[in-house]
Structures are given as C-alpha cells and as structure tokens.
Amino acid sequence: MTDPFDALRLPTAPVAPDPAFATRLRTRLVDTLGPPPDPVPTVTLRGTDPADPADPTAASFAGGGALVPYIAVEGAAAALDWYRDVLGAIELNRFVEPDGGRVGHAEIAIGGSRLMISDAYPEAGVVSPATQEGSSTALHLDVVDVDHTYRRAVDAGATVLREPTDQFHGNRNAVILDPWGHRWMLSQPIDAARAEAAADADPGDFGDVRRYSITGRRPVEPGYLTMATGDLARARAFFTTVFDWDVEAGSEHGGGHVANTRFPLGFMEGDAPASGPVTLYFRVDDIDVYAERVEAAGGRVLARHEYPSGGNAECVDDQGFRFDLFQPAPGY
C-alpha cells in the first residue's frame, strides 16, 4: 500500500446514503484533501440533490470550525485510546486498512473542536515527529483544570516540558509532549490578581511583560446548560434511549451530569426554577467583574451564591432574559 487513502477503498455495494450525510462527507473530504480545481468538476454522490450542491469553499463541519489540525503518529490506534483516556476525546470515525493495519484517517472531538489523525505514511510524504527532530507545531487545548489534566497526562506517559504555571497574560499553562511526540499546551483562565502576581514573580525572558500591549479579550461563551426534571430516573432513561447520553450522578446538590457530550450539560431534579425549565450558564474568569458589567449595561444581578464548586450569579439582561454566570472553584 502506498496511499493512506487506500483505507477508504473497501469493497462496497451500491447504497443510497442519507443526502445530508453525503453532503457532509463530500465537504469534509474536500476540506481534508485541499481546495477543488478551478473549474470544479461536476461530481454527484448517489442520494444527493444535484440542484442543491454543497459549497466546499464555505462549508464547515457542524460542531467544529473550518480550520482543523491533522496530525500523523506512529501507532494511531494507541494514540486514539490515549487521547480518549487522558484528554476526554470522543472518537467520531476511524478508517482502517482492510488487513487491520494502519489507520488511514480518524477524527476525534475535544470540547467543541475536531482533530484529524492518521498513521504515518512516509511513502506518501506523511511523517510523524518520531521520524523528525520533534514537532514544529503545538496544539493548544483549553481545559477546566490544568493541574488535573497535566497530572493525568504525566501518569499516562507524557513528557513534561513545562509544569503548570500562572502566566501574566491571564492563563495558567502547562506544556507536555505526548508519547507520540506531539506538543500540547494545556491552558485555563485565571483572574486578574493571579495574572498580576505572575508578572511580579517572574518577568520571564522578555523583561517586564507589563510593558507589552495585549490587545483583544476572549469572548465569554456558554459553559453549561441545566434542564429541570421532576423525575431524574425517567429523564435518564429517556435521554439515554433517544440520544445515547451517559448520565452520571451530579454534584452535592443532586441531579445528574451528562458525561459523553461535547457541550457540558446536566439535570436538576425538582420543580423548575422561576427562570424556566432550562438554565444557561456562562463561564467567566472573574464573576465580580462580569456582574458589574451586567448591571452597567442595564441588566440586574438577582442573587449571588457560593458553592464548593464555585461562585454563581443569577442575572437578567435589560430585556428580561434570564441567565447565570459561574466561576468554577480551583479543581472544578
């Protein structure tokens, strides 16, 4: 075998695939193999509507962005297991050579992002860090708890390049080398006081970092969604049957957490709160700052709570939309 995509050329019988699936598959293959020639030749996948072709130059995979890293390793099957166990990756697909050999292509999801992986195919110019002098790239991964993920990675055989350290730019970072030679930068946001203390403690190789101009601020995104249910056992049975959710026991307040979805969500058992049956939580790095922003913009902070898992603020915007802010405690 000389072509990594030989793994896709398995014996097949004619089928009529779901049109939406066929369109997504065509777009993903175009994204992977590069831009189409100009003019684009007409290719019709069986089961698709020729009158509604996908635009391969503009489409992106649902649940991920248009830019997707594609890495090669020596031993992709073992690497996929490692990324699942250590980084919480969800495997989306895997194409293996007919004789059970190399992985020609696989995709995993970590958080809301995709990563493509294959075995090395040096005969096709696809090489891994093991055959070079290390990797020229680093994969930046936002995590809930850098120290926890770092310890789990090291226990699973990762090489330490930088231990978890607060940084002046507002993140706590650690850098590891996975067993296949790829460099990962693990990152979680910290509050302004810790960032300032980091700048005071270690100016680093660049001198006093506070003389640098740092532009831009990461926008706040939804961090959790809670659904109210009067019967957790029935909700677990229903959504496990319909969506294949894995509902684990919740926090000290009861309920349940869905463990196998990319977007974090869970259940709250009991009567629905005044905000309704669904509560949307926005994760922030400094709840006091964002509570002040809510009120300065014309919204209201209805209540504040402190739990072992972190701080919470119940809010409404200036039109009455109900939402919560939360700042996780260290380790959550």
Give the separation between CA 312 and CA 306, rounded to whole angstroms. Answer: 6
Whether residue 200 sits in one domain with residue 238: no
Whether residue 181 sits in one domain with residue 156: yes
Whether residue 204 sits in one domain with residue 291: no
Nearest to 74 by CA among 94, 101, 114: 101
Q: On the CB side of 204, how many CA atoms lie within 13 Å of its CA?
A: 14
Give the separation between CA 324 and CA 283, rounded to whole angstroms. Answer: 9
Residue-wise over 34-61: b if at least 16 C-beta within 10 A, else e? Answer: eeeeeeeeeeebeebeeeeebebeebeb
Structural domain ending residue among the three candidates 165, 180, 211: 211
Q: Could you tell me which residues come within 8 angstroms of residue 262 by beta carbon, excluding any fewer than 6 positions away?
A: 63, 90, 109, 111, 112
Domain CATH code at residue 167: 3.30.720
Whether residue 236 sits in one domain with residue 195: no
pTM reported for the whole predicted model: 0.47
**Region of residue 298 (phi > 0: left; psi between -120 and 50: alpha; otherwise: beta):** left
Domain CATH code at residue 311: 3.10.180.10
Task: Judge whether 194 lies within some domain.
Answer: yes
The tokens 């509604």 sit on which residue?
52
Whether residue 184 sits in one domain with residue 159: yes
Residue type (1 letter), 82: W
Task: Judge whether 10 lies within some domain.
Answer: no
Whether residue 269 sits in one domain with residue 309: yes
Do the beta carbons of residue 18 and residue 47 sit within 8 Å? yes
Give the separation between CA 35 and CA 56, rounded to whole angstroms. Answer: 8
Do the beta carbons of residue 273 and residue 281 sit within 8 Å? no
Whether residue 324 sits in one domain with residue 229: yes
Whether residue 315 sits in one domain with residue 251: yes
Structural domain ending residue among the three candidates 211, 230, 247: 211
Task: Judge whether 122 lies within some domain.
Answer: no
Task: Judge whether 123 lies within some domain.
Answer: no
Task: Judge whether 104 lies within some domain.
Answer: no
**Region of residue 47 (phi > 0: left; psi between -120 and 50: alpha; otherwise: beta):** left
Q: What are the pLDDT tens digits along the chain (332 aa)? A: 455 555 455 444 445 556 666 666 666 655 555 444 444 333 322 223 334 333 332 233 344 566 789 999 999 999 999 999 999 898 988 888 877 688 988 999 887 788 999 998 888 888 888 888 777 788 988 888 899 999 999 999 999 999 999 987 788 999 999 999 999 999 888 877 787 788 777 655 444 555 545 555 567 878 888 888 888 888 888 888 888 888 887 655 567 888 888 788 888 887 766 657 888 899 888 899 999 999 999 999 999 999 888 899 999 998 888 899 999 887 66
Whether residue 199 sits in one domain with residue 258: no
Whether residue 241 sits in one domain with residue 205: no
Residue 242 has phi, psi (to 5 degrees) of -80, -45
Task: Judge whether 301 lies within some domain.
Answer: yes
Asked if omega into 39 is within 30° of 0 (cis), the reply is yes
Whether residue 251 sits in one domain with residue 305: yes
Whether residue 164 sits in one domain with residue 259: no
What residues make up the domain containing 256? 222-328
Is residue 267 within a helix (H) or strand (E), and if so which, with residue range? strand 265-269
Sign of CA dihedral 269, 247, 112, 60: negative
Task: Judge whether 114 lies within some domain.
Answer: no
Q: What is the total count of domains within the chain?
A: 2
Is residue 176 within a helix (H) or strand (E), and if so which, with residue range? strand 171-177
Q: In a 3-state reduction of DSSP, which class is residue 138?
A: strand
Give the separation between CA 138 and CA 76, rounded to whole angstroms. Answer: 18
Residues in a beta bridge with 141: 186
Task: Judge whether 86 lies within some domain.
Answer: no
Q: Crossing angle of helices 76-87/146-155, nearest 10°?
A: 140
Sign of CA dihedral 204, 210, 215, 216: positive
